[in-house]
Amino acid sequence: MENNTTGNAGIVLVSEVYPDNIVVLPLENRPVFPGLALPLSFVNREIVKSVLYSIEKNNAFIGVSYIKTTNSTDFFKSEKHKTGTLLKILKVINKSDDNIQFFAQAITRFYYRKELTRQAITHWQVEFEYDEKQPVSNELKAYTLAIINSVKQLIKLNPMFQEQMKLALSQVGMEKPGLLMDLVASFLTADGDKLQPLVEAVDLFKRSDLLLKLLREEIELNELQQHIEKQIEEKISTQQREFFLREQLKIIKQELGLEKDDKTSEIEVIEKKIKKLVLTDEVAKTIEEELNKLRTLENGSAEYQVSRTYLNWLTDLPWGVFSDDNYDLAKARKILDEQHYGLNDVKQRILEFVSTIVKRRKVSGSIICLVGPPGVGKTSIGKSIADALGRQFFRFSVGGMRDEAEIKGHRRTYIGAMPGKLIQCLKRTGVSNPVIMLDEIDKIGASYQGDPASALLEVLDPEQNSDFLDHYIDVRFDLSNILFVTTANQLDTIPQPLLDRMEIIKLSGYILKEKVEIAKRFLIPKQRKEHGLKANEIQITDTALVQIVDGYSREAGVRSLENQIKKIMRMTTLLQAENGNSRINVSQNNLKDFLGHPIFTTEGLYKKSIPGVTLGLAWTAMGGATLYIEAQGIKGRSPGLKQTGQLGSVMQESAEIAYSYIQSILPDDNFEFFKNHLVHLHVPAGATPKDGPSAGVTMALAIYSLAINQPIKKGLAMTGELTLTGKVLPIGGVREKTIAARRVKVFELIFPDENKKDFEELPDFLKEGITAHFVSYFDEVIKIAFAK
């Protein structure tokens, strides 16, 4: 349903007898006041039927009343107010089955008495009330004058009311105050709920009070609206004025040659960059094409922004810009020695690379891959290489990288496209020959978005990277002057084609002596500075450092050692804050107060030799390690071999080979042991997965020792792969395993004979005090293990 009480309204006077039984239509938006002629529109089949009935049967008289509650299913049956307005339908403008528009005159108020039904149409029996019945007193005239003054004030604030109000005031005088009030009320913009009390107010004094309140609200609303509009206009005027002035100033400066527009300025900046670069023909041609394109585009267009960004990337790259290399090998060696203690073999390999660069005056083409456990200094060595060469250094991690675009960039057709990491690092370093470190290359991923490892094949191939093509830049850049350094914890997860392109340098880890020296030279001064302590405020003795390394941080690197030193520094600052201690001395006696009880004690588990227990040497991604192997016979069970300790498939096979081989070599009197016992082989630390072939000799010796019921000599550790015929095969990780043995103070070791050359290549400080036996067959192991 829609009713419309706006339009060309006029005052029409009607004088005839009104029926007291009328059809009453519901009004949704606002009530209708007597004295006004206005168009109305309804969309409802029942209302159309009722209007036509009233025209035909009720002399075109019909009532309207503002609704109280809307009936959502049938609007015609909505609950209406008891007071409404009688209308005289003057003309039907438009009509259909469910829509009707008519022009009507509002005559007077009526009041509901009761409801009737005639010819299936609901009627109201009503009673009429006329304003003329009340005399016009001086007080009422005063109210009327107040209303007229408020109307004049409203006209000044809102000219929209001017014509309508002037018409009403000119046609109705002071002698008809009720009609004047109704006409003024009909022009107000108040809600229907506020206007309905005016319809119900028969008493003119009451109606005057209500109308004056509504007029006051209308005036205040218009004053607020005018104030807001004035503020907006002032703001817009100021902004427009400033804009016009700036534009005029810009044009004046351009005319005088003092300033250029944004596009011209940007193009000039790009052209200045180009003059400082040594461009290839391909790059120069591409930049010129993009500049010509940029000149034809509008500043605000999206294509302009894309083209400008592309040109900025092209001109920000260091085409033909190189840093001067340091060709002084003595200085390079000094830098490496100052920044790293130990690692002499690693430094030697690095200096070999540097010397080749010095000789050829360019990168030789090899890619360095630093492999070792966490915390051994791989990343810091890469930074030292850059310092030794006098080059810029840039590091980014490829660990977990799954998108090829991270390496080769996105195509410019994508929103938010960017070059790859390599082009980004060239922009940041500002030279074409930096040292770039690709960290954690063994942890690179792959997904549906591409394989970054495959993308690195081009980057790390000396035969291809001279013409590297980034998808975003789309012109070739020479990467052959870059020295690439990669780091990894292990080589197993690096794709073989990628591994073939790299020169492997292994960092096995540090022994106790080296860790103590590193702590004294680097870690303690660094942490003392980071915690705001002076040298005379904290003192850690050498014996305490030895205890920290041996009991709290036995890993191959020094990261855990640094964490322990941090704990000591934090405890020192706390003691100073709470107790006012000016100097803290950390010794072997009070070390537990700072770090608690030692963490590592398991490798010293056995105080004396026991039959069936041997000590093996193992290699892990964390460095070398020692592990006990225990064998125990269970009498009365079915003969056989039981294995525990979370052993991998290769290690289980080694155990089975060892079990079979020992059975084959034992004499008959000892062989009875296997007929009457189940051999249970266990490797402690069962929560840790273990695998690899190098424990074969250790397992076999544990079973042999159990079978003959004799313990092996104390302080002996071993490693080697065993075959079914007793042949001892070579293993890897000799350096790491030697370091692990020294760490637990085991100085007599058994290695496969073919690993003798690996042991001899170890630095003297690692071999010092070590008695190494090299065996080819297991019977040699037996002689060494049970020698008196």
Residues marked as catalytic: 694, 737
Bridge-based pairing of strands 37-42 and 100-118 is: antiparallel
Handedness of CA 212, 217, 222, 224 (dihedral sign): positive
Contact of 755 with 773, CB cutoff 8 Å: no
Closest by CA to 225, choosing from 194, 186, 189, is 189
Burial of 79 (0-12, 13-18, 19+ CB in 10 A): exposed
How many other β-carbons are positioned within 10 Å of the β-carbon of residue 380? 12
Bridge partners of 439? 397
CA distance 779 to 700: 11
Query: Quick check: 673 and 636 in contact, CB under 8 A?
Result: no
Question: CB atoms < 10 A from the CB of 302, how many?
Answer: 9
CA dihedral 568, 574, 575, 580 (to 10 degrees): 140
Nearest Cα neighbor of 706 from 659, 774, 753 is 659
H helix or E strand, kind and range, residue 114: strand 100-118
The rounded radius of gyration (Å) of the Cα atoms in the chain is 49
CA separation, residue 610 to residues 133, 662, 686, 709, 712 (Å)? 128, 18, 20, 9, 8
Strands 61-69 and 83-95: antiparallel
Q: Where are the beta strands (DSSP E) in 440-482?
A: 468-469, 476-477
Helices (H), 90-188: 138-157, 162-171, 177-186
SS3 321: coil
Angle between helices 162-171 and 177-186 (to 10 degrees): 170
Q: What share of the chain is helix, strand, coil (3-state, %, to 5)?
A: 45, 20, 35
Q: Are 722 and 658 in contact (CB under 8 A)?
A: yes
Neighbour-count burial for 429-463, b at 16+ CB within 10 Å, e otherwise: bebbbbbbbbbbbbbbeeeeebbbbebbbbbbbee
Cα-flanking dihedrals φ and ψ of residue 128, to 5°? Answer: -100, 150
Under 8 Å between Cβ of 291 and 311 = yes
Q: Which residues pair with 147 in a beta bridge?
A: none
User: For tokens 């007291």, what's the residue?
Assistant: 20
Q: What is the 3-state secondary structure (H, E, C) of 263-292?
A: HHHHHHHHHHHHHCCCCCHHHHHHHHHHHH
